């Protein structure tokens, strides 16, 4: 999308937000271009494997969100996160306490998903789940936006939904999952604008359960809308070092992946969301 097209869409979205919310929405976000790719910062991998890209590892949320996950699988997830130095493990909220215990003493955060994967829960239900996850030790919250409300331009509901989670999460950081595969470009712009307005710390492409994943084009659009002030997380379908490089070049500064070991070493991964 050209800057001219993005500015036109952003102006339309900002006007609609002002009309609904009675405030000043961010104007035409021609934000910065793609973020620079991380420098080559590699070290020997554990167990004699290939080099580990440590800079990339610190951008990865090592993810395990399937409903049938067992404690043994959580232990493997946390062992890998500790070994390779991933930014966090991203798990369902019921598994936060287990992962906090498994990661005790490690420089790895625990990230909990909230309202996952549909985003269709009431705002107070998402806020309750958020408080419980933070109480259990989560440092970050990945919430799913109310996708239906965003699609029908009920911006007041979208902002209320996000703000309730942001408030409940403090001091934890909040990433807002847009589920970009289900949205038009105009809706993506609105979702990013509203997330920033509501105090989110990141916008995120996808759940990985919605029939689509992160694309460089979507990441670039999101980065241009939110500018440098908040993060962009690419999640869903990032399965190789090449995939990771593409979304980073487009502007992502966090990646959600189950194939995280493959991303940083090239070793075969059996990971699945």
CATH code assigned at 94: 3.20.20.70
Q: What pLDDT is attached to residue 272?
A: 58
Pairing of strands 52-53, 42-43: antiparallel
Q: What pLDDT is attached to residue 39?
A: 39
Burial (CB count <10 Å: 0-12, 13-18, 19+), residue 47: exposed
Q: What pLDDT is attached to residue 196?
A: 96
Q: Is residue 144 part of a domain?
A: yes
Q: Is residue 19 part of a domain?
A: no
Q: What pLDDT is attached to residue 266?
A: 81
Largest CA distance in the chain: 60
Q: What pLDDT is attached to residue 204?
A: 99
Interatomic CA distance for residues 181 and 212, integer angstroms: 5
| 3-state SS, residue 235 | strand
- The domain of 257 spans 53-265
Q: What pLDDT is attached to residue 211?
A: 84
Q: What is the pLDDT of residues 175-203, one digit of tens each?
A: 999 999 999 999 999 999 999 999 999 99
Whether the pLDDT of residue 5 is over 50: the answer is yes
Q: Is residue 7 part of a domain?
A: no
Q: What is the pLDDT of residues 23-68, one digit of tens each?
A: 655 554 444 444 433 334 444 444 444 567 999 999 999 999 999 9
Interatomic CA distance for residues 266 and 264, integer angstroms: 6
Identify whether the C-beta of residue 77 lies closer than 8 Å to the C-beta of residue 64: yes
Q: Is residue 88 part of a domain?
A: yes
User: Which residue blocks in the chain are alpha helix, DSSP H?
Assistant: 3-21, 54-57, 71-84, 96-102, 123-136, 147-151, 155-169, 185-197, 216-226, 241-250, 260-265
Q: Which residues are catalytic?
A: 142, 204, 233
Backbone phi and psi for residue 179, each to the nearest 5 degrees, phi listed first: 60, 65
For the whole model, what pTM was predicted? Answer: 0.89
How big is the CA angle at 255 (ends 270 and 189), to the nearest 5 degrees? 130
Q: What pLDDT is attached to residue 136?
A: 99
Q: How many domains is the chain partitioned into structurally?
A: 1
Q: What is the pLDDT of residues 94-137, one digit of tens each?
A: 999 999 999 999 999 999 999 999 999 999 999 999 999 999 99
Mean confidence (pLDDT) of the chain: 90
Q: What pLDDT is attached to residue 52?
A: 74
Q: Is residue 44 part of a domain?
A: no
Q: Is residue 1 part of a domain?
A: no
- Name the band, by pLDDT with cuts 50, 70 and 90, for residue 166: very high
Q: Is residue 22 part of a domain?
A: no
Q: Is residue 34 part of a domain?
A: no
Q: What is the pLDDT of residues 201-245, one digit of tens each?
A: 999 999 999 888 999 999 999 999 999 999 999 999 999 999 999
Task: State both tokens at 263.
Answer: 């991303």
């Amino acid at each position: 999308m050209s800057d001219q097209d993005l500015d036109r869409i952003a102006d339309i979205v900002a006007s609609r937000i002002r009309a609904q919310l009675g405030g000043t929405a961010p104007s035409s976000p021609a934000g910065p271009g793609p973020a620079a790719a991380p420098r080559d910062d590699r070290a020997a991998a554990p167990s004699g494997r290939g080099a580990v890209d440590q800079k990339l590892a610190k951008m990865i949320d090592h993810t395990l969100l399937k409903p049938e996950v067992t404690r043994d699988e959580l232990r493997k997830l946390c062992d890998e996160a500790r070994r390779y130095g991933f930014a966090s493990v991203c798990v369902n909220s019921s598994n936060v306490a287990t992962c906090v215990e498994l990661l005790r003493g490690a420089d790895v955060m625990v990230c909990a998903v909230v309202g996952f994967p549909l985003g269709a829960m009431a705002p107070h239900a998402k806020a309750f789940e958020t408080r419980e996850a933070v109480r259990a030790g989560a440092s970050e919250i990945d919430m799913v936006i109310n996708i239906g409300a965003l699609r029908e331009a009920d911006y007041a509901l979208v902002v209320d939904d996000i703000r309730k989670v942001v408030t409940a999460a403090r001091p934890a950081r909040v990433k807002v999952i847009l589920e970009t595969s289900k949205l038009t470009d105009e809706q993506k712009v609105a979702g990013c604008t509203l997330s920033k307005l509501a105090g989110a710390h990141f916008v995120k492409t996808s759940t990985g359960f919605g029939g689509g994943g992160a694309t460089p084009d979507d990441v670039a659009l999101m980065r241009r809308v939110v500018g440098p002030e908040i993060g962009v997380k690419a999640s869903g379908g990032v399965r190789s070092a090449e995939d990771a490089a593409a979304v980073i070049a487009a502007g992502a500064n966090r990646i959600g992946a189950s194939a995280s070991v493959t991303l940083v070493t090239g070793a075969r991964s059996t990971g699945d969301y």
